[in-house]
Amino acid sequence: MTTIKAAVCHAFGQPLTIETVHLRAPAQNEVEVKLDACAICHSDLTFIDGGWGGTLPAVYGHEAAGRITALGAGTSGYAIGDTVIVTLVASCGHCAHCAAGEPVHCATPPSQAAALTLADGSALTQGMAVAGFAERVVVDQSQIAKVPATMPLDAASLLACGVITGLGAAVNTAKVRPGQVVVVIGAGGVGLNAIQGARISGAARIIAVDTNPAKLEAAREFGATDGVLAMQAEPWAEATRLAGRGADHVFVTVGATKAYDDAPNYLGPHGKLYMVGMPHSGAQASYIPVNLAYYGQGMAGTRMGDVVLPRDIPWLCDLYAQGRLKLDELISKRWSLEQINEAIANTRSGAARRNVIVF
């Protein structure tokens, strides 16, 4: 057992506590990673608030990067000292979904014995199969991907969720094509990456929609051609005016049901709505089905940007090295583990693109 510090959630909606906990050694097909950084995602906040349920006490955090410090039996392709990102995507590699290149929907993800225990030996849940708000993690080898040793690991950590979720929704799920019109509702961390994905894919118009004028201005740095304030009456009419037609693709990157209610109004004929942001369990949105039927429109979910780690992470690292993918600009502030509750409060305020815990 290794002794580490971690931010533990004992009660939903309450501050995390920094505690000394125990981490077991990696077992079959597992690796231990000493973390350099773990970003704070809104999904972490939803779990901390109890919005999706879960077993407590738990350690959350799932957008991480660090260096491999130990290898379990059966691992291959990795060595101690390798710099890697750590994600929640655990896949078996041989079920029907994995064979079809859809590891995020793996039907038989690797089972994992509890890796964490509290100081008294009692159970501690490894939130989202990562538990990145801790100095080290033990995860299945399918959950990691190499990044260049020269790459800053605070920037690399963003590839583990926020970047692949937003950018992947545009590139992998929607397959945005040159000349198309894209609307991105929500210009936060995930939304900015959906904008980057649309830009990289060659979209003709990329319209950011948000309630915050400062965020709309920031969206232009990442590739948005236009910005629309969501509070105005019928903002979709303004978006249509700017583009000259309805959108081919609309991405909802926030978890607000109001955004989902409004989103179909931005679509043009044969346009498609992509559900990226995740509301709390039980939240409901409404739409007018006859409109979707008449105009041949569609709706689809997208999980983790339909990422395939061995395919997508090297490509994204190369884009970053070329200066074509903005990562450093996504980091609002770096915080220590002891400051995690302050960092969470700052994230809740909506002011941050991404706050990163650095170890």
Question: Is residue 276 in some structural domain?
Answer: yes
Which is it for strands 298-301 and 331-335: parallel, antiparallel or unpaired? unpaired
Domain membership of residue 317 (yes or no) is no
CATH of the domain at 260: 3.40.50.720
Averaged pLDDT, 273-302: 94
Q: What are phi and psi of 9, to 5 degrees?
A: -100, 115
Residues 178 and 291 in one domain: yes
Task: Annotate 285-353 with three-state secondary structure.
Answer: CCCCHHHHHHCCCEEEECCHHHCCHHHHHHHHHHHHHHCCCCCHHHEEEEECHHHHHHHHHHHHCCCCC
Asked if residue 316 belongs to a domain, the reply is no
Same domain, 299 and 204: yes
Does residue 321 lie in a domain region? no
One domain, residues 223 and 249: yes
Q: Residue 237 CB: number of other CB atoms within 10 A?
A: 13
CB 192 within 8 A of CB 215: no
How confident is the model over 93-103, as a mean pLDDT? 96
Which strand ranges, in their side-by-side order, compose the sheet holding 58-59? 2-8, 17-23, 116-117, 123-126, 58-59
List beta partners, residue 35. 66
Do 67 and 146 belong to one domain?
yes
Residues 227 and 199 reside in one and the same domain = yes
One domain for residues 34 and 108: yes
Same domain, residue pair 189 and 110:
no
Same-domain check for residues 191 and 279: yes
Domain count, the chain: 2
Task: Answer whether residue 111 shows pLDDT above 90.
Answer: no
Residue 302, burial from CB neighbour count under 10 angstroms (0-12, 13-18, 19+): buried
pLDDT at 305 > cutoff 90: yes
Q: What is the pLDDT of residue 112?
A: 79
Is 318 domain-assigned? no
Model confidence pLDDT, tens digit, residues 133-144? 999 999 999 999
Cα separation, 302 vs 22, whole angstroms: 35
Residue showing tokens 């305020």: 349
pTM exceeds cut of 0.85? yes
Other CB atoms within 10 A of residue 230 CB: 20
- Residue 115 CA to residue 179 CA, distance in Å, equals 48
Q: What is the DSSP string of 1-31?
A: -EEEEEEEB-STTS--EEEEEEEPPP-TTEE
In a domain, 149, yes or no: yes
Residue 347, domain CATH: 3.90.180.10
Instruction: Grade residue 113 by pLDDT with cuts at 50, 70 and 90.
Output: confident
Alpha-helical runs (H) found in 158-269: 162-168, 189-201, 213-221, 235-243, 257-262
For residue 348, being part of any structural domain is answered with yes
Hey, CA dihedral for 92, 97, 99, 103, is it positive or negative?
A: negative
Domain containing 45: what range?
A: 2-160+326-358
Instruction: Examine the domain organization and report whether 154 and 184 are in the same domain.
Output: no
Flag whether pLDDT at 343 surpasses 90: yes
Q: How far is residue 180's CA from residue 267's CA, in Å, rounded to a whole number?
A: 12
- For residues 147 and 172, membership in a common domain is answered with no
Q: Helix (H, G, I), strand (E, B), or coil: what is residue 103?
A: helix
Residue 331 lies in a domain: yes
Using a pLDDT cut of 70, give the percent of the chain over it. Answer: 100
On whether both 22 and 148 belong to a single domain, the answer is yes
**Domain check: are 114 and 250 in the same one?**
no
Q: Per residue in 245-271, pLDDT tens? A: 999 999 999 999 999 999 999 999 999
Residue-wise pLDDT tens digits, 38-57:
999 999 999 999 999 999 99
> Residue 239 — pLDDT band, cuts 50, 70, 90?
very high
